[in-house]
Amino acid sequence: ETGVTQSPTHLIKTRGQQVTLRCSSQSGHNTVSWYQQALGQGPQFIFQYYREEENGRGNFPPRFSGLQFPNYSSELNVNALELDDSALYLCASSSQYSTLYNEQFFGPGTRLTVL
Amino acid sequence: AQSVTQLDSQVPVFEEAPVELRCNYSSSVSVYLFWYVQYPNQGLQLLLKYLSGSTLVKGINGFEAEFNKSQTSFHLRKPSVHISDTAEYFCAAPNQGGKLIFGQGTELSVKP
């Protein structure tokens, strides 16, 4: 069973640029959630995708957008990068809608640095 | 407001000593509670979870946690820590929409 994978592992961008982060969910999982973890902080929920539709969004501006594909992999896109976007971006997959109690399996994350 | 609060940002402890990492949650979050561990440069790994039933929950690596509804707490404990337990620990709970809310994290540093 393949776990959650994310690419790239590290990324350096400059302010104003755009970035795309990718996530492959664990086999059999149809729900993907994205989290931003700033240095020294806990992860903050960005949004969740279930069967290719956005299913809930945290307190993030519209320049954070996402996609989920038919194979349940997902992308996180961030436009007009700001310095404060520097963080570890975590993807988590789970097997059901509205994961009140279904375990979310996390990938290793993508470390984004904005200069 | 929906919140999960970890009361200690850093906990230094000597090897083989007991440890308790504290977590309080607001009553507005769903009473499903989780502890995750994050080793350096890695993602999050589930240590244990409370869904219902016994208030004492046992997890991996010898950790356990006790759900206390009256004190809205879910403290994590281990009777004897190892160097390899050095990591960041996060308490989490889902909000009404089922999205995980995390505490700020506690850095456990185990010294020889």
pLDDT at B1: 59
Comparing CB atoms, the residue among A41, A104, A109 nearest residue B100 is A104
Pairs of residues, one from chain A and one from chain B, whose beta carbons lie less than 8 Å apart: 61
Judged by CB atoms closer than 8 Å, whether chains meet at B42 and A108 is answered as yes
> Does B37 have pLDDT greater than 90?
yes
pLDDT tens for the 115 residues of chain A, in order: 578 999 999 999 999 999 999 999 988 889 999 999 999 899 999 999 988 999 889 999 999 999 999 999 999 999 999 999 999 999 999 887 555 566 788 999 999 999 9
pLDDT at A42: 92
Question: A83: helix, coil or strand?
Answer: helix
Judged by CB atoms closer than 8 Å, whether chains meet at B105 and A40 is answered as yes
B28: number of Cβ within 10 Å: 12
What is the residue-wise DSSP string for B40-103? TT--EEEEEEE-SS-SEEE-GGG-EEEEETTTTEEEEEESS--GGG-EEEEEEEE-TTS-EEE-
**Percent of chain B's residues with pLDDT above 70:** 95
